[in-house]
Chain A
Amino acid sequence: MDFFSFNEILSIFSATIRISTPLIFAAMAGIFSERSGVVDIGLEGKLLAGAFASASVAAVTHSAWLGLGAAIVIGLILSLIHGFASITHKGDQVVSGVAINIIVSGLTVVLGMAWFHRSGQTPTLPNDARFMPINLYGVDTISNIPIIGDIYSKLLSGYNLLVYVSFAAVALTYWTLFKTRFGLRLRAVGENPKAVDTAGISVNLLRYKAVLIGGILTGIGGTYISIAQNASFIKDMSAGQGYIALAAMIFGKWKPIPAMFSCFLFGFLEALSMRLQGVSLPLIGEVPVQLIQASPYILTVILLAGFVGRAIAPKADGIPYIKER
């Protein structure tokens, strides 16, 4: 196939990275939460809330950083609500997550209308109130070298800060889970909370911490969506990415690095499908748009069926811990 030039391939990959970034944040949040035994369907709502908070605060203060801070605070608050329902009160985790998604989807628009009078949209941000693409060191000189220069300038450089932060988040997630005391306990509590309890550690506290970390990460993810990737908040702009992140997390078997790669996979398939629209394939001719749009999902199913073995969730995932049993 010769549809794609080298440059186009580079651009597909860089689009992949841009599309994957919010998925990665949300997937890492999901890993923390579910590794501790708390299912988090509310990722979608938290992303959306983060997007709204950062766009609103950035619009008022003209500071991307304050926007980020606000998004993190909102993520933490929503996580506390989720924790209060599903950890403290042993409520159903899925219902709690669904409720959060619905509330956020409504409340962001209600508040947006009340504050900015623009049918739920926030004002468009000037560039200095956003996270803008940054050029890595020496891009200008290196970009003149063929191939390597292109790879450096188009594939490695030129993303906004949060993209790089997302990679750091993956590394940090991996490190926290597998190299620290906290991570050991976290993984244990998702597998067998009784073992953790009898080892003298508070199950609830541990789960709260995990869920709160998830709140921070989704806050950053939401910030990326509204003030890095875009320049304002638009209602429901998370557009299902929280659910895709959840799927990526499961696809990655609740492990940070594989989960990151499955986010890339989703991102890649999406980026590819965007470029395939309207391209007519040899023999087949022009493929219906809908088939191309569905292709990421179809491919995911095929990959799942063919290559990925049974995904085993943390054993206590989704089960409230009730002592007297």
Chain B
Amino acid sequence: MNQASKPLPVWIDIVVIPLINLMLALSVSIVIIYLIGANPFEAIKLMIQGAFGSSEGVGYTLYYATNFIFTGLAVAIAFHSMLFNIGGEGQAYIGGLGVAVVLLAFDHYLPAWMLVPMALMASMVFGAAWAAIPAYLQAYRGSHIVITTIMFNFIAANLMVYLLVNIFIEPGSMTPQSRPFLDNAWLPSMQAIFADIGIKISESPLNLSFIFALIASFFVWIYVWHTRWGYEMRSVGFSEQAASYAGIKTKRVVMITMLISGGLAGLVGINEIMGVQHKLMLDFVAGYGFTGIAVALMGRNHPVGIIMASILFGALFQGGAELAFDMPIISKEMVFVIQGLIILFSGALTYMSRPWIEKLFCVFYQTRNLREI
């Protein structure tokens, strides 16, 4: 969206500027942490250590990143058709429902290698189905997708409470959650996978879904930029009139795009339900759908950017949790503040420092040129 005004070496745009933004966000956080009476440098050290300092920390970071990659991709792909899918939250929730339905129905009868693809399908189909009505209404009735997807988030929440309390609940249980799946319906954890090949890593919720997320990113990249369908999708996004001139069925493209988007969001269900919780429960989406919006925008709607932004957000979540754990004075809300500041500086004030750097860069080059003369 932002047009770079003057050409600078690429490394400045993708390395230096993001770093500066991160620094700025951290400086503001430091001031706030100092004001509430904690040692800010200790806090930041804890946060970084928590996120990346141990294989367990990294595991958690990547586990969160997995969710963000799915929801970020969902938002991004819709964006390429100029559709603002705010419904990732609900689609992920329903995607998890799909996973649970399949696993609860078949975990007694089928082996793991059959359950995994079935659950993958179910998560995507359910997520896509939840996106289908808003998509249809947008394409054929002109209802604004932002409103309909927001509404569908609420509807999904109500549906899930109803189902969990009245249908899926384990009899006699206090908790509105389904029975745990049998072991064969658990997605292998990274720890187990690494153990198989002889590498020991500490336990974390990180599981095979992370690989699925990377594969999904790759597919999105291929789909958007290297297939005719992606071409059509971007055409519709940039110019509906030109797209129809080119013989593209714009309404169908809107439908397909939203179905893919919903399917991607639904994959959160694989990570959470099949990979980590091993049962259907309330509120397992925990806002990942909304975070996906920020992730997609920060990642410039490109899979590589989304993966990087997801890891940043994963680190914020994990590091933040560790920070709150180890520094009682810092509450989870304080961690929100730090996260918000980082989003603000790296996502919205992205180019704030650019003019300065441009100047610096010019001066630097001029002096170098002078010296050469």
Contact = CB atoms under 8 A, between A and B. Distances in A.
Contact of B343 (A95, A105, A113, A300): A95
A310 B142 contact: yes
Interface in B217-276: none
Nearest to B353: A89
A109 B152 CA distance: 29
Interface residues of A, number: 57
Nearest to A253: B144
Contacts of A322: 2-3
Interface string B317-344: 0000000000000010111110111011
A55 interface: no
Nearest to B154: A297
A124 interface: no
A250 B150 CA distance: 12
Contacts, number: 160
Q: How large is the interface on B (under 10, 10 to 19, 20 to 34, 35 or more residues)?
A: 35 or more
Given A95-B348, A243-B150, A293-B158, A103 B341 contact: yes
A168 to B, nearest CB: 27
A136 interface: no
Contact of A294 (B142, B158, B298, B343): B158
A99 B151 contact: no
B343 A288 contact: no
B151 A297 contact: yes
Given A102-B336, A106-B336, A293-B158, A247 B344 contact: no
Interface of A is mostly: helix
Given A98-B290, A298-B151, A113 B340 contact: no
A107 B333 contact: yes
Contact of B337 (A90, A107, A250, A305): A107
Interface stretch (B9-17, B48-56, B159-167): B159-167
Given A98-B290, A99-B343, A109-B331, A304 B137 contact: yes
A96 B334 contact: no
Contacts of A81: 344
B349 A309 contact: no
A110 B333 contact: yes
Given A110-B334, A305-B137, A305-B141, 9 more contacts: A86-B348, A91-B349, A91-B351, A98-B347, A99-B340, A100-B344, A105-B333, A110-B32, A289-B162
The 8 tightest CB contacts between A and B, nearest first, are: A106-B336, A310-B142, A103-B340, A96-B348, A102-B340, A99-B344, A91-B348, A95-B347
Interface of A: 81, 84-86, 89-96, 98-110, 113-114, 120, 235, 243-244, 246-247, 250-251, 288-291, 293-294, 297-298, 300-301, 304-306, 308-311, 319-320, 322, 324-325
27 contacts: A90-B2, A91-B347, A91-B348, A91-B352, A92-B350, A95-B347, A99-B294, A99-B340, A99-B343, A99-B348, A101-B340, A106-B339, A110-B331, A113-B331, A120-B333, A288-B162, A288-B166, A291-B158, A294-B155, A301-B152, A304-B141, A304-B143, A305-B137, A308-B143, A310-B142, A322-B2, A325-B3
